[in-house]
Amino acid sequence: MSFEAFRAEIGRLADVLCAVNLLQWDTRTMMPPGGVEGRAHQLATLTSLAREIATGPALKSAIERARDTLAGGGSDAERDEVEFAAGAIATLERISSRLVSEAAELKTRANAAWIEARREDDFAGFAPFLQRTVELQRDIAAAIGSEGHPYDALIGTYEPCMTLSRLRPLLDELRTELAPLLAKARDLNSGVDLAMKRFPVERQKLFAKELAGRLGYDFARGRLDDTVHPFEISMTRGDVRITGRFREEWLPAGMFGVWHEVGHGLYEQGIAPELTRSAFAIDFVNLYAVGGTSFGMHESQSRLIENRVGRSRRFWELHFGRLRDAFPDELAGVSEAGFWRAVNAARPGPIRVEADELTYDLHIMLRVEIEAALIAGEIEVRDLPGLWRERMRDLLGIEVSTDREGVLQDVHWSSGMIGSFATYTLGNVMGAQLFEAATRDRAVSAGIDGGDYGPLRDWLGHHIHRHGRRFPAEALLERATGEALSTRSYLAALRAKVDGLAA
Amino acid sequence: MSFEAFRAEIGRLADVLCAVNLLQWDTRTMMPPGGVEGRAHQLATLTSLAREIATGPALKSAIERARDTLAGGGSDAERDEVEFAAGAIATLERISSRLVSEAAELKTRANAAWIEARREDDFAGFAPFLQRTVELQRDIAAAIGSEGHPYDALIGTYEPCMTLSRLRPLLDELRTELAPLLAKARDLNSGVDLAMKRFPVERQKLFAKELAGRLGYDFARGRLDDTVHPFEISMTRGDVRITGRFREEWLPAGMFGVWHEVGHGLYEQGIAPELTRSAFAIDFVNLYAVGGTSFGMHESQSRLIENRVGRSRRFWELHFGRLRDAFPDELAGVSEAGFWRAVNAARPGPIRVEADELTYDLHIMLRVEIEAALIAGEIEVRDLPGLWRERMRDLLGIEVSTDREGVLQDVHWSSGMIGSFATYTLGNVMGAQLFEAATRDRAVSAGIDGGDYGPLRDWLGHHIHRHGRRFPAEALLERATGEALSTRSYLAALRAKVDGLAA
């Protein structure tokens, strides 16, 4: 009975957080401009109610009573869930209400300043807000606490158990190994320039949706809408929404963007039904309703679908015909092989979100280094534009001409997010490990070979999705692959790709 | 300072109720089928949080402190608002949490049973749920209390200050006066049968939207989406959404439906900015974020736009050309006068929502009589199918062949709503009074004559919309028109219309 009482209180929290997710989804897809001010109030009130429930006496005493009862019985899953909630709430409580409300208030102003600064290419206009963000995030890091580098506390809010000292060798390894691959790949020209054509948006969307369904996304428990910056968001496993942005002038962005979100969506749609409204579907520290266990593991699912599946040669052998049916004029004279080469072209550029697989992680390295040094107080905000240019030269061999294409390009810092960038690379790495392990299963590899992605989804569902947040990312990874976190699979996949492109 | 503290707590309540409205909007427009179960939990949790805030100690002490401070100063508006909240909360508290949760739980089951019963034309399958609904509504009526008929308490939850004894003479008057009008009108055939054509839905929507904008609906603070049963809902005055249902086979339903919702939308968009997140934008008894002062006054705005403006001869003299441009083939050979006659055709039928202006109120009378007798215990649920047939014969002279087209047609009872039907007729009556008063203003009548509805919207905004829920409906009506509630304007408008149709 007392576990049910605990679940009832957790359910209330989950309901409020799912409502917050709907407000967020609506803000980014449907809300008319006039709704901005009201929405800010609604989000603030619901988020503060969620915090009140999460840290309130009712949940605390429910946890205590559940512990007492479960000591004399109950399942491992029940005990795990109660302890998971207790631990997460303790971390949440270390971040005081004052810090939370200061961060929320700063975020609104910093974001507006960033939009303006980016438009005007005026780093100085954003610098004071970034300075204040760094200070506040330092305070949050100190409040959470960490044994090693202060940056670890922030990384941990996105990727529990990850630390800077474990990230660095992994990133160094990638840098060393990616360099020759990039050198080899950048000289390979696909001969197809997709940017020369205009692809009507409605047909792009139909094609992307068709493949989203084939990849296993369940539209009876989701929907695809337009937005400016695509995202996936979930209101329990029964309602997992994805968004896309389609542009006439660049076909790949729209469809790969959708399949990326499909990867996230499969994760949330695959959470076990019994975890609905449970503690294992709540990110307590970020007060966010989500079933995926960490940002990195979530990203592993999206990268796996987008890159390991969607950019593979076999995928386009199977589906290019449908794409050419949808765009007979636009793709006249383009071969399946040429198209595959075009969507895998490697070309160093200044913008992270436009980067290919061989350069993406170099963008992440730059950001991790800078964030760690900022939090440690080793560099100053005012030095960032110069530092950015210098490191881009070292890492990617390119000249950054404006801050708009440099230090001002990402939304993260203006949203108070410091510590999240590494999860993109962790996603690349874990996604490749999981894909390699999944395709050792004959049913999975045969399915992919024949264009049936059901066995892949089921494998991921069984090993990853259904568990929700019960197990940490690396524990899940090891159980699923028999291997600890490692760049091996990822580098092997990239090497194979470059070899294919060179063939 | 203490009024601000009161407003802060009221603001939190308003935020939660606006979030509930967004959940409701989403449920009826966007939510995938898989979201049903989660959404029910989210709505239940947010509604109960709203009740906790509304009846909680923080708001109570804020009211007491505000009263103390305002006794020695403060504006009438501030004092009015605090007393309005205090009175409304007292009513809300009379309805116990037990009654509220029983009603919520019954509603879910009763609604499912009603859908099934209507599909199968099986009144007996719905009867036990209706019986339980009547009993529960009797308990709620008793809890609220009333000086006269017990039904008055329920009417009052939708139309404060209205009573059965005041409704009856008004309804009798309409019945007496409408009979000869109907007799005269039903012999007039427009010669145009719109049901013979198919009107592509996308063009219907474009035309309806274009006119919605001309009628003053601000799309920067709203949006129009598809739904099954059209409605308007507001998340503060900056985000007021309307919905429509367009069918190829019946052009008038879609466009008049949209303009009806535009009338509601103008009301909510016209609430004074300073009433945002105030007690005057909350229906405490129904725990609903709404700025309009009563269901009847809200309906007066929608009926005014739909019928007094949208079905007028002048409206189609001005806009039929645009409609014919949109549907050149479908409307070939149809004249502006013929079209106007077609959308004003009077024809008694069994279904309320399809009724024309001359028969609509007769449908309401039937329902008001039945509801009052059910609540008073003068009739039994099992007698309703027969009683319905009998009264439809008396009132409209038609034979009802099935319960699906009779007692099972409305969603209201299955949603626990008893007492709301009269507000449709009150809307017709008040809408006509307000339109008559508004058009005594030369700018308003000249605007309407020239197709500029801005002056009409401004007049309604000044006299009705901006006040929110500060004044009761009839007080507003008297201030705006110089006249008490009366059928005179409404009957005059209908007489003039029938005379026009007969000319």
Q: CB–CB of B18 and A38 under 8 A? A: yes
Residue B1 has pLDDT above 70, yes or no: no
B257 touches chain A (CB under 8 A): no
Say if residue A329 is exposed, middle or buried (CB neighbours under 10 Å; 0-12, 13-18, 19+).
exposed
A28 touches chain B (CB under 8 A): no
Q: CB–CB of A35 and B220 under 8 A? A: no
Confidence of residue A52 (pLDDT cuts 50, 70, 90): very high
Say if residue B202 is exposed, middle or buried (CB neighbours under 10 Å; 0-12, 13-18, 19+).
exposed
Mean of the per-residue pLDDT values of chain A: 96
- The pLDDT tens digits for A267-286 are 999 999 999 999 999 999 99
Q: How many CB atoms lie within 10 A of CB B338?
A: 16
Q: CB–CB of B32 and A220 under 8 A? A: yes
Residue A419 has pLDDT above 70, yes or no: yes
B38 touches chain A (CB under 8 A): yes
Chain B stretch 182-221, residues whose beta carbon is closer than 8 A to a beta carbon of chain A: 218-221
Q: CB–CB of B239 and A42 under 8 A? A: no
The answer to whether A412 is annotated as binding is: no
Mean of the per-residue pLDDT values of chain B: 96
**Shortest alpha-carbon distance between residue A333 and chain B (Å):** 36
* Tokens 């014919």 found at: B324
Catalytic residue among A78, A81, A232, A261: A261
Among residues of chain A, what percentage have pLDDT more than 90? 93
Spatial contact of A473 and A430, defined as CB atoms under 8 Å apart: yes
Closest CB to A239: pick one of B31, B44, B46: B31
Give strand pairing partners of A241: A233
- The pLDDT tens digits for B342-353 are 999 998 999 999
Query: What number is the ipTM of this complex?
Result: 0.95
**Torsional sign, CA A80, A86, A89, A93:** negative
Token pair of A208, please? 């992307």
* Phi, then psi, of B277 in degrees rounded to 5: 60, 30
**Shortest alpha-carbon distance between residue A393 and chain B (Å):** 45
Residue A351 has pLDDT above 90, yes or no: yes
Nearest CA in chain A to B18: A42
* Tokens 């997992």 found at: A240
Compute the count of residue pairs across chains A and B with CB atoms less than 8 Å apart.
125
User: Any catalytic annotation for residue A64?
Assistant: no
Q: How far is the CA of A122 from the CAs of A182, A381, A407, A408, B466, in angstroms?
A: 32, 14, 10, 9, 43
Nearest CA in chain A to B47: A16
Token pair of A374, please? 């900022």
Query: B interface mutation test: which of A17, A23, A28, A45 has the most B CBs within 10 A?
Result: A45
- In chain B, the N- to C-terminal Cα span, in Å, equals 64
- The pLDDT tens digits for A206-258 are 999 999 999 999 999 999 999 989 999 999 999 999 999 999 999 999 999 99
3-state secondary structure of A233: strand
Spatial contact of B224 and B243, defined as CB atoms under 8 Å apart: yes
Catalytic residue among B9, B81, B232, B261: B261
d(CA B337, CA B347): 19
Q: CB–CB of B15 and A42 under 8 A? A: yes
Q: Which residues of B touch A273 (CB under 8 A)?
A: none
Q: CB–CB of B33 and A277 under 8 A? A: no
**Shortest alpha-carbon distance between residue A140 and chain B (Å):** 27
Residue A448 has pLDDT above 70, yes or no: yes
The answer to whether B264 is annotated as binding is: yes
- How far is C-alpha B91 from the chain's CA centre? 22
> Using N-to-C axis directions, what is the helix angle for B473-481 and B295-303, rounded to 10°?
40
- The pLDDT tens digits for B164-196 are 999 999 999 999 999 999 999 987 776 788 888
Transcribe B231-251 into DSSP letters.
Answer: -EEESSTT-EEEEE---TT-H
Residue B309 is classified by DSSP as: I
B23 touches chain A (CB under 8 A): yes
Q: Identify the CA nearest to A492 among candidates A452, A435, A443.
A: A435
**Shortest alpha-carbon distance between residue A285 and chain B (Å):** 21
**Torsional sign, CA B59, B60, B63, B68:** negative
Residue A372 is classified by DSSP as: H
Gyration radius of chain A over CA positions: 23
d(CA A337, CA A341): 6
Spatial contact of B216 and B266, defined as CB atoms under 8 Å apart: yes
B222 touches chain A (CB under 8 A): yes
Residues 6+ apart with CB under 8 A from A236: A14, A18, A276, A277, A281, A289, B35, B37, B38
Q: Identify the CA nearest to B327 among candidates B193, B207, B211.
A: B207
Transcribe B84-117 into DSSP letters.
Answer: HHHHHHHHHHHS-HHHHHHHHHHHHHHHHHHHHH
- How far is C-alpha B266 from the chain's CA centre? 13
Which pLDDT does position B323 carry in this prediction? 98
d(CA A136, CA A106): 9
Say if residue B49 is exposed, middle or buried (CB neighbours under 10 Å; 0-12, 13-18, 19+).
buried
**Shortest alpha-carbon distance between residue A444 and chain B (Å):** 27
Write down all domains in chain A, each with its CATH number in brackets. 2-148 (1.20.58), 164-502 (1.10.1370.30)
